[in-house]
């Protein structure tokens, strides 16, 4: 049985630093395969293994030390010129980094890692001695499913948040519960200059607080000039709070390159298994994104890179026959545009035909022939994001089950972003993702339904219009409204929330998942920028979180796409 590691604090620090080192090692290894003459890159990879080995030895993880030592010896022979790089040897090295990552996961549970497979250790030793070794076994990628959320009981939820509900009955304690190990610390690297700004602004806020306390006494004593001075002090406080908020938001921003680097490994491994040649190019690695978005962006991008390699890039023979270079190119680029982040994944592969996608969607029953006839080229290409849609005729461990691209779109939508696809047969494909800079501060539109105030993201709002029942039309058995030549369905917010029906005199024209519609409510309060806080212990569908208005009123921030799906 594995032994427990003794120092949780040291373990947390090691896993954070070693995890970043391993990401750099993986990216460097893929680069080394195409530029084996790069001695500096080789030394950097060698130092990464050496540093991980040293930390593992200090923590008492002999299995990790042994694996790193064997791999380090192999790299030492590369540095001295005794051995040369080759795809087979690189397969063994990348398999070793996969085992290192697996050991990190075991160490995160507070236990010393188990040894790497004997076949892998023997293969690395044989490679270091210049002998041939069998290829490592293919790694299986576990399938994951997201958590399921129950539909919310809106009135009970509001009562609970406002302190009106009776406390929940205590749950019986489980018979036995193992002691959980200390979790890996969630850290952010902050530039010292930004941290100094935070400290300086904190000091300024302290001075502003003292100034307000002094003016409060002056006002109480009847000083006629105190009110004017108090007004100036409040304005100064507001400016300081705004500056501090901005600096703290910047402190949360992390270079997107930290996530993008690992996709070189993903593309390399998959192209090798499919007999393809692929080069991954990264652009805009220094672009900064909110850490929360960065963490949740990882899985969607993995899907997109895998799809580009599997669906997009042709085999070398096919590419040569089409007059293209043998190796395909996938480019991931990132840049900031105003308050949004633009990420593109483009390839020079075979592309897709909008006409064939429509025909495939009809044959699979995803849409009807009448619905297909109304779609333009862009809408036809975006059919690929519908659940159950796949262009693959054979199911493999890479793709073909129709559970990839719809998951990508769902995850991007949850990040308050949007995704779009452009493609032409023979000219490759381009997926564009547009995301907000941060999720912590959200521009919203405040509105009323009954007596409760709600907020919806301002990014989905097109305009606000007055409503009158005389303006309604009946289309397909439901209410609709003509807005600037478009006939849009009307959805009462009260119906989406399963609350008391109200007439609704205000319409909010929104675009949800590329579909324009009118949300009917009882009135609009105005725009605001709010800090969204998650509801502790619960995550009902249709709610992103909660915030407080300037009047101290509880405001629920709605996820309209989830509410509409439930309706």
Strands (E), 403-503: 418-423, 429-436, 441-449, 452-457, 461-466, 473-475, 478-483, 486-492
Pick the closest to residue 375 from 359, 391, 389, 364 (CA basis). Answer: 359
pTM of the predicted structure, to 2 decimals: 0.64
DSSP symbol at 501? -
Which residues share a beta bridge with 3? none
- The span from the CA of 402 to the CA of 383, in Å, is 11
Helix (H), strand (E) at residue 242:
helix 226-251
Helix (H), strand (E) at residue 565:
helix 560-566
Q: Give the burial string for 194-215 (b: 16+ CB within 10 Å, else e).
A: eeebbeebeebeeebeebeeeb
- The span from the CA of 423 to the CA of 346, in Å, is 9
Cα 315 vs. chain centroid, distance in angstroms? 31
Tokens (6 digits) for 254:
């992390």
CB atoms within 10 A of CB 184: 19
Which residues share a beta bridge with 478? 475
Give me the tens of pLDDT residue by residue for the chain, a chain 567 residues long. 456 666 677 788 788 888 888 888 888 888 888 888 888 888 888 888 888 988 888 788 899 999 999 888 888 888 888 888 788 888 888 899 999 999 998 888 888 889 999 998 988 888 888 876 555 544 444 444 444 444 455 556 555 555 554 445 455 544 433 334 444 446 677 778 888 888 888 888 888 888 888 888 888 888 888 888 888 888 888 888 888 877 887 888 888 887 888 888 888 888 988 999 999 999 999 898 888 888 888 888 988 998 899 989 999 999 999 999 999 999 999 998 877 889 999 999 999 998 988 888 888 888 888 888 888 888 888 888 887 676 554 434 444 434 468 888 888 888 888 899 999 999 999 999 998 877 767 788 999 888 889 999 888 899 999 988 888 888 877 888 888 888 899 988 888 888 766 668 899 999 886 788 999 999 999 888 887 777 766 767 788 888 887 777 889 888 888 888 776
């Amino acid at each position: 049985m594995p032994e427990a590691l003794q120092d949780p604090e040291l373990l947390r620090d090691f896993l954070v630093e070693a995890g970043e080192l391993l990401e750099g090692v993986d990216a460097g290894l893929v680069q080394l395969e195409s530029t084996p003459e790069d001695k500096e890159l080789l030394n950097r990879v060698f130092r990464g293994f050496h540093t991980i080995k040293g930390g593992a030895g200090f923590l008492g993880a002999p299995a990790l030390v042994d694996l790193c030592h064997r791999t380090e010896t192999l790299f030492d022979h590369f540095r001295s010129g005794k051995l040369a790089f080759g795809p087979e040897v690189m397969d063994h090295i990348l398999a070793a980094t996969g085992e290192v990552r697996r050991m990190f996961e075991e160490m995160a549970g507070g236990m010393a890692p188990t040894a790497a497979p004997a076949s892998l250790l023997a293969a690395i030793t044989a490679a270091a001695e210049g002998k041939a070794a069998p290829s490592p076994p293919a790694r299986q990628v576990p399938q994951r499913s997201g958590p399921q959320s129950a539909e919310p009981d809106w009135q009970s939820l509001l009562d609970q948040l406002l302190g009106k509900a009776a406390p929940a009955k205590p749950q019986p304690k489980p018979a036995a519960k193992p002691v959980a190990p200390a979790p890996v610390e969630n850290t952010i690297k902050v530039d010292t200059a930004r941290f100094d700004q935070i400290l300086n602004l904190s000091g300024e806020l302290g001075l502003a607080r003292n100034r307000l306390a002094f003016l409060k006494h002056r006002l109480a004593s009847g000083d006629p000039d105190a009110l004017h001075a108090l007004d100036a002090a409040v304005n100064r406080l507001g400016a300081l709070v705004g500056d501090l908020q901005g600096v703290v938001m910047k402190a949360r921003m992390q270079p997107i390159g930290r996530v993008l680097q690992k996709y070189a490994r993903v593309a390399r491994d998959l192209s090798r298994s499919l007999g393809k040649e692929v080069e991954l190019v990264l652009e805009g690695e220094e672009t900064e994104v909110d850490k929360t978005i960065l963490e949740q962006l990882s899985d969607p991008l993995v899907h997109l890179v895998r799809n580009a390699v599997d669906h997009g890039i042709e085999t070398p023979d096919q590419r040569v026959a089409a007059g293209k270079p043998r190796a395909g190119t996938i480019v991931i680029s990132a840049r900031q545009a105003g308050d949004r982040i633009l990420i593109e994944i483009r390839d020079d592969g075979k592309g897709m035909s909008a006409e064939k996608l429509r025909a495939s969607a009809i044959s699979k029953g995803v849409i009807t022939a009448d619905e297909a006839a109304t779609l333009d080229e862009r809408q036809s290409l975006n059919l690929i994001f519908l659940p159950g849609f796949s262009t693959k005729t054979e199911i493999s461990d890479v793709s073909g089950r129709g559970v990839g691209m719809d998951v990508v779109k769902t995850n991007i939508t949850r990040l308050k972003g949007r995704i779009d696809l452009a493609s032409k047969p023979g000219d490759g494909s381009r997926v564009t993702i547009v995301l907000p800079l941060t999720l912590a501060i959200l521009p919203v539109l405040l509105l009323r339904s009954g007596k409760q105030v709600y907020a919806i993201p301002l990014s989905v709002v097109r305009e606000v219009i007055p409503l009158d029942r005389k303006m309604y039309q009946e289309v397909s058995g439901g209410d609709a409204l003509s807005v600037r030549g478009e006939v849009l369905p009307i959805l009462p917010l009260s119906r989406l929330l399963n609350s008391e029906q109200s007439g609704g005199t205000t319409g909010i024209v929104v675009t949800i998942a590329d579909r324009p519609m009118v949300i009917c409510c009882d009135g609009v309060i105005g725009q605001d920028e709010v800090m969204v806080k998650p509801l502790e212990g619960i995550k009902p569908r249709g709610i992103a979180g909660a915030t407080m208005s300037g009047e101290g009123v509880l405001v629920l921030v709605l996820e309209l796409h989830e509410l509409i799906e439930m309706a």
